[in-house]
């Protein structure tokens, strides 16, 4: 069969080729003399529509197009951790060394996983010659970093009997570590796997989320928690802090593996994120963050078509580590840039546009991405449970949450963290609006939080206070707070304490940047104790003005600048005692 065709039409990143007999959807093709990477996205008659993932300037009609016969796939094996890839999983460090340029040159080809590095492989002793193996069975271990033990697994779709297995030693990723025989067929198991990025990796069973993913951000963890294996959207306009919030989640979340996908974001933001990650230490493990992180940097000046591959590449790598039994967190910043790329390609294909010019399949493409998150029982032995949690930023023009990308995303996520311009302009960060945000994981994680404190009760009270403050805000703007009854003045004061002393958090303060759940519970308990005694004081005729002047009020405000260890060692008890003694003196009993 002839597997070569010719360019018929060129329209930016879209190439129309003719003569590609038998080409299949999403097949990888090489375009032009330089062999630019492209992917078939539509077939109409004898013409194939190809989105090219590299710059197409200089291509001419009539140049050859070669079909490869395989889908766009990720290389999954030792060497992923600590790597920085572009949207096609080309290692950017290696490209820089090879080309001597800060830009990725067209047609450059570098293996995703280094073929020269040798990894120390340790065979699983329970796996012996003649044993029956199934997809997902772990046959060996590679200590990729001090934080990550890479499990070498039988690939999906492969089963049979162990005909040969490698002994302990140092091997490259190309080296075979086992031969699996099934009937008259044999399959060589290498240190790495190839997997199509658009195809979800299989698992034994999808499970309900049972454990919260602690992010270290109080407004998320305490008010709107997300579970491991959950899906969350973080929409917000320009300057509301999406990128910083996602970077903080990646840095501090209680996950085993962190994957950061910069999808069409500014180069300086990606550079800042990479620079900070290389210096950052994991607070829970005392090791560099890069020892458990993977970066996919697809900046705004790279070809728009590659934004889609960067998102699917990130989720595929996340599924791979999930299959090892790890808890993985993946952040995509931002899915709106991906949607804009879809709109451009759709327009060049002359498809009927949907709302605001986005393609009609926008919603289904977003679903393909978000539905790959989850907590699962993995394939293979020994039995393992892993999770993949996804955070997707959305950048609606003008912060308009009725925009198509936001509305389509909301259908598939269970957590919605709405970033607010008003909070950002008042320098309240993270600028997550507590009136618009929500979490559907409350019932799944309440058992965890209620072990630390009266979380369900305190959370409900805090949200009701914040809601009541919003209701009073119009009255306050008209007549001022002094015209309110004392009960409403107390609501405003306690709401201010919740906002400033609990929800507001500084990413630049080394102590306040990460807040463990035990610390969250202590701060909220102090605020609730202050609120309880304040209400009692009001019944005794004490005014809110006098309550506001109490010394313990400022001590509560300082609690977030103490570490959990300091709070536990005595600061928390001193604050509680100070609150009670202040009110005892105030009330006189």
Please report whether residue 483 resides in a domain.
Answer: yes
- Which residue do the tokens 């590609």 mark? 20
Q: In terms of residues, how long is the chain?
A: 589
User: Which of the listed residues 403, 434, 465 is the one where a domain comes to its end?
Assistant: 434
Q: Distance (Å, rounded) from C-alpha 399 to C-alpha 424?
A: 12
Q: Is residue 572 part of a domain?
A: yes
Q: Is 102 domain-assigned?
A: no
Same domain (yes/no): 49, 136 = no
Q: What residue numbers bound the domain in which 157 lies?
A: 114-191
Same domain, 56 and 165: no
pLDDT at 89 (0 to 100): 92
Look at residue 508 in the predicted model and tell me its pLDDT: 87
Examine the domain organization and report whether 137 and 234 are in the same domain.
no
Same domain for 185 and 212: no
Asked if the structure places residue 109 within a domain, the reply is no
Structure tokens at 541: 């005729």
Q: Is residue 198 part of a domain?
A: no
pLDDT at 104 over 90: no
- pLDDT score of 350: 87
Q: Are 142 and 150 in contact (CB under 8 A)?
A: yes
pLDDT for 430-461, tens place per residue?
Answer: 999 999 999 999 999 999 999 999 999 999 99
H, E, C per residue of 325-388: CCEEEEEEECHHHHHHHHHHHHHHCCCCECHHHCECCHHHHHHHHHCCCEEEECCCCCCCEEEE
Beta strands in 496-589 (DSSP E): none
165's tokens: 């297995």
Whether 513 and 578 map to the same domain: the answer is yes
* pLDDT 10s digits, 472-482: 988 888 888 88
Q: Are residues 420 and 506 in the same domain?
A: no
73-76/138-143 β-pairing: unpaired
* Cα separation, 80 vs 89, whole angstroms: 10
Counted domains in the chain: 4
Q: What pLDDT digit, counting tens, does each position of 358-397 carry?
A: 999 999 999 999 999 999 999 999 999 999 999 999 999 8
Q: Which of 351, 334, 315 is nearest to 409 (CA)?
A: 334
CATH code of the domain in which 146 resides: 2.40.50.100
| Residues 411 and 463 occupy one common structural domain | no
Which residue has 């990308």 as its token pair? 405
CB under 8 A, 24+ apart: contacts of 580-588: 580/529, 580/533, 582/550, 582/551, 582/552, 583/533, 583/534, 583/536, 583/537, 583/550, 586/537, 586/542, 586/546, 586/547, 586/550, 587/536, 587/537, 587/540, 587/542, 588/540
Best CA proximity match to 258, nearest among 295, 288, 283: 295
Which are the contacts of 305, defined by CB distance < 8 A and separation ≥ 6? 13, 39, 51, 52, 53, 341, 345
Element (H, E) at 84: strand 84-85
pLDDT in the model for residue 589: 60
Among candidate residues 399, 434, 469, the one where a domain is terminated: 434
| 408-432: pLDDT as tens digits | 999 999 999 999 999 999 999 999 9
Give the pLDDT score at 367. Answer: 95
Q: What is the pTM of this model?
A: 0.94
Answer whether residue 284 shows pLDDT above 80: no
Which one is predicted more confidently, 264 or 137? 137
CATH number at residue 362: 3.40.50.300
Pair of tokens at residue 267: 């180069």
Domain harbouring 494, CATH code: 1.10.1140.10
Identify whether 98 is part of a domain: no
Dihedral sign, CA of 115, 118, 122, 128?
positive
Q: Tell me the pLDDT band of 194, cut-offs 50, 70 and 90.
A: very high
In the sheet that 160-165 helps form, which strands lie side by side, from edge to edge? 132-133, 160-165, 176-182, 185-190
| Residues 285 and 430 placed together within one structural domain of the fold | yes
């Amino acid at each position: 069969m002839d597997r070569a065709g010719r360019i018929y039409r060129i329209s930016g990143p879209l190439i129309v080729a003719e003569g590609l007999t038998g080409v299949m959807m999403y097949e990888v093709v090489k375009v032009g003399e330089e062999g630019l990477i492209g992917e078939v996205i539509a077939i109409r008659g004898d013409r194939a529509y190809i989105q090219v993932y590299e710059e197409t300037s200089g291509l001419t009609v009539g140049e050859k197009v070669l079909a490869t016969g395989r889908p766009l796939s990720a290389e999954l094996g030792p060497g992923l951790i600590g790597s920085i890839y572009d949207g096609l999983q080309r290692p950017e460090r290696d490209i820089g060394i090879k080309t001597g340029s800060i830009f990725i040159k067209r047609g450059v080809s570098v293996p995703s996983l280094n073929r020269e590095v040798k990894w120390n492989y340790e065979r699983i002793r329970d796996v012996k010659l003649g044993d029956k193996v199934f997809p997902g069975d772990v046959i060996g271990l590679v200590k990729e970093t001090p934080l990550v033990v890479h499990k070498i697994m039988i690939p999906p779709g492969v089963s049979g009997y162990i005909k040969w297995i490698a002994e302990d030693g140092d091997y490259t990723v190309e080296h075979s570590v086992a031969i699996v025989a099934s009937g008259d067929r044999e399959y060589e198991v290498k240190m790495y796997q190839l997997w199509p990025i658009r195809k979800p990796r299989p698992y034994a069973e999808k499970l309900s989320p049972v454990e919260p993913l602690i992010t270290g951000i109080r407004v998320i963890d305490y008010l709107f928690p997300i579970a491991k294996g959950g899906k969350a959207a973080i929409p917000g306009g320009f300057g509301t802090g999406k990128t910083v919030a996602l970077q903080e989640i990646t840095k501090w979340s209680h996950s085993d593996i962190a994957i950061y996908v910069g999808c069409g974001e500014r180069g300086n933001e990606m550079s800042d994120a990479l620079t900070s990650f290389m210096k950052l230490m994991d607070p829970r493990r005392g090791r560099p963050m890069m020892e458990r992180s993977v970066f996919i940097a697809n900046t705004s000046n790279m070809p728009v078509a590659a934004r889609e591959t960067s998102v699917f590449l990130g989720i595929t790598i996340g599924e791979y580590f999930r299959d090892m039994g790890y808890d993985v967190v993946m952040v995509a910043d931002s899915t709106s840039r991906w949607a804009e790329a879809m709109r451009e390609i759709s327009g060049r294909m002359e498809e009927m546009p949907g709302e605001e010019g986005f393609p009609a399949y926008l919603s289904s493409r977003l679903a393909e991405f978000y539905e790959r998150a989850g907590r699962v029982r993995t394939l293979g032995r020994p039995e393992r449970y892993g999770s993949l949690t996804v955070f997707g930023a959305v950048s609606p023009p003008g912060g308009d949450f009725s925009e198509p990308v936001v509305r389509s995303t909301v259908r598939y996520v269970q957590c919605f963290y709405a970033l607010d311009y008003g909070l950002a302009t008042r320098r309240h960060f993270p600028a997550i609006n507590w009136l618009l945000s929500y979490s559907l994981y409350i019932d799944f994680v309440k058992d965890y939080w209620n072990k630390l404190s009266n979380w369900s009760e305190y959370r409900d009270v805090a949200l009701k206070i914040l809601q009541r403050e919003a209701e009073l805000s119009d009255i306050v703007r008209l007549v001022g707070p002094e015209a309110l009854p004392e009960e409403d003045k107390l609501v405003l004061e306690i709401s201010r304490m919740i906002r400033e002393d609990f929800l507001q958090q500084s990413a630049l303060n080394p102590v306040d940047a990460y807040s463990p759940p035990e610390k969250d519970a202590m701060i909220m308990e102090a605020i609730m104790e202050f609120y309880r005694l304040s209400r009692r004081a009001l019944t005794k005729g004490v005014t809110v003005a006098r309550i506001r002047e109490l010394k313990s009020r400022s001590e509560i405000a300082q609690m977030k600048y103490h570490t959990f260890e300091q709070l536990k060692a005595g600061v928390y008890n001193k604050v509680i005692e100070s609150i009670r003694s202040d009110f005892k003196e105030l009330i006189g009993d």
